[in-house]
Amino acid sequence: MRYLTAGESHGPQLTLIVEGLPSQLPFSKEKVDAQLARRQKGYGRGRRMQIESDQIQVLSGIRFGKTTGAPVALAIENKDWAKWQDVMSPDPDASKAEKRRVSRPRPGHADLNGAVKYGHRDMRDVLERSSARETAARVAVGAIARQVLELCGIKVAGHVVQIGSVNTERLDLTCWSAEEIAEKSESSPVRCLDPDAEQEMIRLIDEAKQEGDSLGGVVEVIVEGVPVGLGSHVHWDRKLDARLVQAIVSINAFKGAEIGIGFEAGKRKGSQVHDEILWSEEKGYHRATNRLGGFEGGMTNGEAIVVRGVMKPIPTLYKPLNSVDIDTREPFQASIERSDSCAVPAASVVAENVVAWEIARALLEKFSSDTADELVQDVNRYRQRVREF
Ligand code: EPS
């Protein structure tokens, strides 16, 4: 299963193609739109989100509420395009682009590197595609993957564990189910499960906004109900934990990811890191703790997957940093573009969905999946085999 996305932030639409889905998979447009709506929310978002109301248009691969097995093509309209048609025109006459030409690269953005690499004197040609607008397409793709996971009893939830200097305690997953995490984070404007931290995060975001500054943070994704043995120890590019890290770090502005206790493992002794193996009639093989976040040897071990990602503060600042104009090579304060002061709550939704995609992809690699029924039967047979092992 694979996908491609295309589209600029202020172009007519985002376009995406998902190929390799099982046929006969019940497909709900409403569920995809619901994920898109979740991504648009969150305390600290800027004015652009008041313009957009993201929804998919289904162009192929679905008939009468089910996949046919053919590539699924979707579009998400950019409502803002109406005001950008001249500037974003594909026509050869570029005279109207001048008023929005960007010659001052923003530190922390793709602007300068992309312009040098692709030979653009107008850095809009870079920023339009490097914009986090593209994450709407990735959420739509993840929302389809979730419909595969749902059939197999796998649940995904996400929440915000840090914004700026405010962070929350690690979750004890023996007390929280994915469903509870999803429900509680949904009712928080910053998608945080701790009400005290939530208030402090809101205060920090207000403060950063007033100062024309921005804030980053850390998000966590939990996946429950994953069978043992997704991914593989036999080759580096089949290790599913590594693929999850790549998926997370590929989200705009993300700088790192960790599985389970992650970097903390480097500080502890082995006895305080590894999870002891137990067996019981009720659960079969399981672990006494879940410090390794559901992975050993690049494979799932049947415990909940726990993956975190760190997002840097958005580099587009109302209080711009120093930069150099590529026309004059003189120092300048970087140009101001409309921006969000904090997009960490929205990014937690993106993280959930990119993780959902990778898990669904690994599932379809392991199990027979030309049709949704075949997939479910194969997963159930395997779960039974695991119980009898
Ligand atoms: C973004 C800048 C802002 C954000 C945008 C990402 O857009 P604009 O340039 O239109 O003000 O709102 O995010 C989205 C459009 C979105 O859908 O999340 C950027 O430069 O990355």
Q: Beta-carbon neighbour count of residue 58 at 10 Å?
A: 14
**Minimum CA distance residue for ligand 1 atom 12:** 48
Write the CB contacts of 68 (distance below 8 Å, at least 6 apart in sequence). Answer: 23, 61, 62
pLDDT of residue 335: 63
Phi and psi, residue 167, nearest 5°: -135, 170
Residue 338 is labelled as binding a ligand = yes
pLDDT, position 381:
98
pLDDT tens-place string over residues 35-45: 999 999 999 99
Contact 311, 347 (CB under 8 A): yes
Tell me, in angstroms, the distance from the centre of ligand 1 to residue 84's CA: 14
Q: What is the pLDDT of residue 319?
A: 83
**Residue 296, phi then psi, degrees to nearest 5:** -140, 130
Q: Which residues contact 113 (CB under 8 A, 6 or more apart)?
A: none
The dihedral region occupied by 262, where left means phi > 0, alpha psi between -120 and 50, and beta the remainder, is left
Pocket of ligand 1 (CB under 6 A): 9, 46, 48, 52, 80, 131-133, 135-136, 316, 337-340
- Quote the ligand 1 centre to 127 CA distance (angstroms): 10
Q: What is the pLDDT of residues 136-177, one digit of tens each?
A: 999 999 999 999 999 999 999 999 999 999 999 999 998 999
CA end-to-end span of the chain? 29
CA nearest neighbour of 366 among 240, 244, 221: 240
Ligand 1 atom 18, closest CA: 133
pLDDT digits (tens, 9 = 90+) for 296-343: 999 999 999 999 999 999 988 888 889 999 999 999 876 666 788 999
To the question of pTM greater than 0.85 for the whole model, the response is yes
Q: What is the number of the ligand 1 atom nearest to the C-alpha of 54? A: 17
**Does the annotation place 129 within a ligand binding site?**
yes
Q: Is 101 annotated as a binding residue?
A: no
- Residues 346-356, mean pLDDT to the nearest whole number: 98
312 is in an annotated binding site: yes
Q: Identify which of 111, 130, 131, 129 has the alpha carbon closest to the alpha carbon of residue 121.
A: 111
Give the pLDDT score at 334: 66
Q: Give me ligand 1 centre to Cα 43, in Å.
A: 15
Nearest atom (ligand 1) to Cα of 109: 20
Q: Which residue's CA is the nearest one to ligand 1's atom 21?
A: 131
Short-list 363, 365, 357, CA closest to 143: 357
- The pair of three-digit structure tokens given for residue 20, joined into one six-digit string: 């390799």
Q: Which value, in Å, is the radius of gyration of the alpha carbons in the chain?
A: 22
Which atom of ligand 1 is nearest to 253's Cα? 21
Whether residue 316 is annotated as binding a ligand: the answer is: yes
Query: Higher-confidence residue: 315 or 20?
Result: 20
CB contact set of 291 (below 8 Å; sequence gap of 6+): 260, 261, 265, 272, 273, 274, 275
Q: What is the pLDDT of residues 181-227, one digit of tens each?
A: 999 999 999 999 999 999 999 999 999 999 999 999 999 999 999 99
Domain of 176, in residue numbers: 2-388
How many structural domains compose the chain? 1
pLDDT digit string (tens) for 100-139?
Answer: 999 999 999 999 999 999 999 999 999 999 999 999 999 9
pLDDT tens for 233-287 read 999 999 999 999 999 999 999 999 999 999 999 999 999 999 999 999 999 999 9
Is 168 within any annotated ligand binding site? Answer: no
Question: Which backbone phi and psi does 264 adopt, to 5 degrees?
Answer: -60, -30
**What are the residue ranges of helices labelled H in 48-194?**
48-51, 111-118, 124-130, 135-151, 178-186
* Contact indicator for 349, 160 with CB cutoff of 8 Å: no
Atom from ligand 1 closest to the CA of residue 10: 10
pLDDT tens sequence across 49-92: 999 999 999 999 999 999 999 999 999 999 999 999 999 999 99
* CATH number, position 146: 3.60.150.10
Question: How many whole angstroms from its chain centre is CA 83?
Answer: 28
Q: Could you tell which of 340, 341, 349, 353 is best to mutate to test the pocket of ligand 1, judged by most ligand atoms within 8 Å of the CB?
A: 340
What percent of the chain has pLDDT above 90? 92
